[in-house]
A and B are shown apart, each in its own frame.
Chain A
Amino acid sequence: AQRVTQPEKLLSVFKGAPVELKCNYSYSGSPELFWYVQYSRQRLQLLLRHISRESIKGFTADLNKGETSFHLKKPFAQEEDSAMYYCALLYNFNKFYFGSGTKLNVKP
C-alpha cells in the first residue's frame, strides 16, 4: 500500500541555519512526489514537484529511489519560511496521498 511518512511534527531552526524536512514514501509503482506548503492563514499551495527539478524560494528536493525519500532542503532558512509543509505522493495517476505534515518554525 502507498504511504508517505513525515517523521517530524515540528522542526525549529534559527534564521540562516540549514533546513531539511524529511519525507519517506512507500509505493510499488513509479513515484511522483510533491511538496505542498501552507503559510499561516493561507490555503495549501504547491511548492515544488520532483519532475520539475526546480528550486522554489531556495528550496530543493531530490527523489532518492534507493532510500525511498524526497527530503526538502534549504541551505539558509528565513523567517518567512515558517509554515506547515506536506509531502505528497501521486498514485494511480490521479490520486494524492499526503503525509501528516511538518511544522517549520524559523526563529529570529
Chain B
Amino acid sequence: DTGVSQNPRHKITKRGQNVTFRCDPISEHNRLYWYRQTLGQGPEFLTYFQNEAQLEKSRLLSDRFSAERPKGSFSTLEIQRTEQGDSAMYLCASSNLPSFNEQFFGPGTRLTVL
C-alpha cells in the first residue's frame, strides 16, 4: 500500500466540459475527504464519506459537483459544466480508527479550465 492515490494528476479541460477525478484511499480507511485548494490558500473542505455514506457537503459545493463512494473504497468527484473558477488542486485524504483526525493526503489532481 503506497498511500492515497489520485488520478489523473493533471487535467486540462475546456469550459463547459464535465470532468471526473478518482481517489483510492489507504486500504481499510473508512473515512474519505475531498478538499479544494487554490493558489495561496489552504485546503478547503468539500465533502466527506464514512464508508459509502456521504455525511456532509460544504455549502460551497455547488450543484455541479457530485461525489460518490459506491462500495466504501475508492471515491469519484465529478464536476459538470466546468467553469474557469473551478481551476484548482483537488485533494483527497483518508483516515481511520483509532484516530480519524490523522488524515493521509493524496498528491492531488490539478484541474485547469480554459
Which A residues lie at the B interface, using CB under 8 A? 4, 9, 32, 34, 43-46, 49, 86, 88, 90, 94-101
Q: Give, as a whole number of angstroms, the nearest-CB distance from B41 to chain A.
A: 5
A99 contact set on B, CB distance < 8 A: 42
Instruction: Name B's interface SS.
Output: strand
A32-B101, A100-B40 known; A94 and B55 CB under 8 Å? yes
Interface string of B84-114 (1 = CB under 8 A from A): 0000000101000000111111111000000
Band of interface residues on B:
20 to 34
Count of CB-CB pairs between chains A and B under 8 Å: 47
B3 contact set on A, CB distance < 8 A: 43
Of the A-B pairs whose beta carbons lie under 8 Å apart in the complex, a sample of 23, sorted by A's number, is: A4-B42, A34-B101, A43-B105, A43-B107, A43-B108, A44-B43, A44-B91, A44-B105, A45-B104, A46-B102, A46-B103, A86-B43, A94-B48, A94-B100, A95-B45, A95-B56, A96-B33, A96-B43, A96-B45, A98-B42, A98-B43, A98-B44, A100-B40
